[in-house]
Amino acid sequence: MELNYLDFSSKAIEQFSKGGAFLTVKGIKRVNTMTIGWGFIGKMWNKPIFIAAVRYSRFTYKLLKETNEFTVSFPLQGQLVKELAFCGKKSGRNYDKFEECMIELEDGDIVDTPVIKDCNLHYECKIVYRQTLEPELIKEEFIKEKYENNDYHIMVYGEIVSCHS
């Protein structure tokens, strides 16, 4: 069922502190998902936008360079807790997360990247901008807390082209 992307945005943001969401990417040869604990939902360029932060070291970053879309799936009713934990700790370079966790995929409504079947909310996004974080512009406290190893994030802006349950 198609939804307004803002109708569930507060629940989606709340989910980040309850275990996160699945960011799924379909590269040329592989589909991978990772757990994200940060994300931004809003409006930019008069378009609904989801901004995902992905570290350069992540396998998902490699796949994001091969595509112009991604999906974000939110388990809003406390389900998939173990799966979120696994997908947040293990790399798609070394594991087929879908097989390991028995996560089922469904086709997206608009994009070619699938969504996670047992989630309650899905954002399908087409990438409209990628922004490298500039270390010299980040508050020093955050550098010490989050980037001691210089593994910075790239911000990936996706126009939300479909929001559904």
CATH of the domain at 149: 2.30.110.10
Is residue 155, in this structure, part of any structural domain at all? yes
Q: Is the pLDDT of residue 100 over 80?
A: yes
pLDDT score of 128: 98
Mean local confidence (pLDDT), 12-18 = 94
* pTM as predicted: 0.94
As for how many domains the chain has, the answer is 1
Mean local confidence (pLDDT), 35-61 = 96
Is residue 44, in this structure, part of any structural domain at all? yes
Is residue 93, in this structure, part of any structural domain at all? yes
Is residue 24, in this structure, part of any structural domain at all? yes
Domain that holds residue 112: 9-164
Q: Is the pLDDT of residue 126 over 90?
A: yes
Mean local confidence (pLDDT), 100-116 = 97
Is residue 67, in this structure, part of any structural domain at all? yes
Mean local confidence (pLDDT), 29-56 = 96
Which pLDDT band, with edges at 50, 70 and 90, does 133 fall under? very high
Of the candidate ranges 33-37, 74-78, 100-104, 148-152, the one whose mean pLDDT is the lowest: 148-152
Is residue 64, in this structure, part of any structural domain at all? yes
- What is the residue whose two structure tokens read 């997206």? 108
Q: Is the pLDDT of residue 60 over 80?
A: yes
Is residue 126, in this structure, part of any structural domain at all? yes
Chain segment 139-148, per-residue pLDDT in tens: 999 999 999 8
Q: Three-state secondary structure along the chain?
A: CECCCCCCHHHHHHHHHCCCEEEEEECCCCEEEEEECCCEEEEECCEEEEEEEEECCCHHHHHHCCCCEEEEEECCCCCCHHHHHHHHHCCCCCCCHHHHHCCCEECCCCCCCCEECCCCEEEEEEEEEEEECCHHHCCHHHHHHHCCCCCCEEEEEEEEEEEEC
Is residue 158, in this structure, part of any structural domain at all? yes
Mean pLDDT, the chain, rounded, equals: 95
